[in-house]
Structure 1
Amino acid sequence: MSRTSNRTDGDIIRDFLSVADLLEEPQLAQLYTYLVHEHEATVQDVIADLELGQGTAYSNVNRLVDVGVVEVTHDEQPRRYAACEIDLTVTTAAGDREYTITPALIDAVGRAETNDDIDTYVDRHGVAGLATALTYAVARERGEVTHRLMAEDLDISPLAAEMILQALRPVVHEYYDIEEFEASFDVDNSDRK
């Protein structure tokens, strides 16, 4: 579901609304992320691995198929499902901010289901705030920013910044190429006697 400039406006709006469902419901985001990682799965796999009830699993898989973010890859029983690629960039009405919706962001939203720090952050700052925090989390893991800089830039407490950065760390390492940041210290002992 990558967006290209030759798509009609109706297709883009439909696709955006499809992705919006994932961003509004952590359980759907978690299911989509599961299918991204598994490449292909049956509803029985979903039930077993995500510990969902049978009715919930079928309902959620069908919802994701209906909105076009999951496809049937094997139509014979048992049906197999796979996640469609999502890479959608949304620009604010003022044109001052862009948010890219990727599997990493959807994964972070899905983790709100089981991670209180992410859930609280989304409650306070919304999904757009989580997208921004994910950007800072990538930069932090690359050694480019600190939690204090994030806190200052976003006008949040350093503790809140540290908590969300720690909560997003597993997402960052799963989706982004992070080179190990190593500090090197040169100690000059020539002046010591």
Structure 2
Amino acid sequence: MSRTSNRADGDIVQDFLSVADLLEEPQLAQLYAYLAREREATVQDVMDDLELAQGTAYSYVNRLVDAGVVDVTDDEQPRRYAVREIDLTVTTAAGDREYTITPALIDAVGRRETDADIDIYIDRHGVAGLATALTYAVARERGEVTHRLMAEDLNISPLAAEMILQALRPVVHEHYDTEEAGTGLDELDIDGNETGDA
């Protein structure tokens, strides 16, 4: 679901609205992250692994299919579902910041349901703030920044910085290559990839 400039505006807006649903509803984000990890799954798998009631599991899967972020990969019963990779860049109205919405960020939002530190951080700083914290978490795991540097840069307490960095650590290890040292924080985008010429 990577977006380029040759897409029709209506398609891009629809994609953004679909992703916005994931970022606003942690349960949907959690399901998307689960399907991304599993590569493919049935509704029964979702029910068992995420401990969801049958009606809830079908409702969530159908919402993600309708939103265009999950595909049916096998029409035979039981149907199997897989995610579409999301890589959508959003620029603020002022044009001064860009955020790349990726499976890692969606996974972090999905953990809001089970991790109080992520939940509190989103309440205080929003999803955009979580995206920024995720960038710092990648750099921290690569040994490039400390929680004190993050706290100073973002004007938050060192304790708050340490708490969110610890909460995001499992997300970082699941989605990023943390052995890739030497990339500066200013060279990372929200997806954790190096920016610049390829």
Same fold? TM cut 0.5: yes
Deviation at 1:76?
A: 1.7
Pairing of 1:85-164 with structure 2 (within 5 A): 85-164=85-164
Unpaired stretches in structure 2, ≥5 consecutive residues: 182-198
Give the aligned length: 181
Question: Aligned partners of 1:141, 1:39: CA distance in 2, in Å?
Answer: 25
- Give the whole-Å Cα distance in 2 for the aligned partners of 1:122 and 1:155: 16
Shift of 1:180: 7.9
Shift, 1:4, TM fit: 1.3
**Could you say what the CA RMSD is over the residues aligned between the two structures, in angstroms?**
1.0
3-state SS, counterpart of residue 99 of structure 1: strand
Superimposed CA distance per residue, residues 132-166 of structure 1 (whole angstroms, 9 cap, x where no aligned partner) = 00001011111111111111111111000000000
TM-score, length basis structure 2: 0.90
Counterpart residue number, 1:16? 16
Separation in structure 1 between the aligned mates of residue 171 and residue 124 of structure 2, nearest angstrom:
20
**CA–CA distance in structure 2, aligned partners of residues 3 and 57 of structure 1:** 29
Superposition TM-score, scaled by structure 1 size: 0.92
Provide the rounded CA distance (Å) in 2 between the counterparts of 1:56 and 1:155.
Answer: 40
User: Could you tell me which residue of structure 2 aligns to residue 82 of structure 1?
Assistant: 82
Partners of 1:32 and 1:83 lie apart in 2 by: 7
Distance 1:84 1:21 in 2: 15
- How far apart in 1 are the matches of 2:129 and 2:17? 19
Aligned to 2:170: 170
d(CA) in 2 for partners of 1:158, 1:27: 29
Q: Offset at 1:113?
A: 0.8
Q: Name the CA distance, whole Å, in 1 between partners of 2:65 and 2:71.
A: 6
Matches within 5 A, 1:170-189: 170-179=170-179
Task: Look at both structures and tell me which one has the larger radius of gyration over its CA atoms.
Answer: 1
Aligned positions of 1:34-113 closer than 5 A: 34-113=34-113
Q: Deviations over 1:25-52 (max 9, x none)?
A: 1110000011101111110000000000
**Any idea what SS the aligned residue of 1:89 has?**
strand
Deviations 1:104-142 (A, max 9, x none): 000000011100100110111110000000001011111
Gaps of 5+ in 1: 182-193
Distance in 2 separating the partners of 1:67 and 1:170: 27
Letter in 1 for 2:152: E
Whole-Å separation in 2 of the counterparts to 1:92 and 1:129: 13
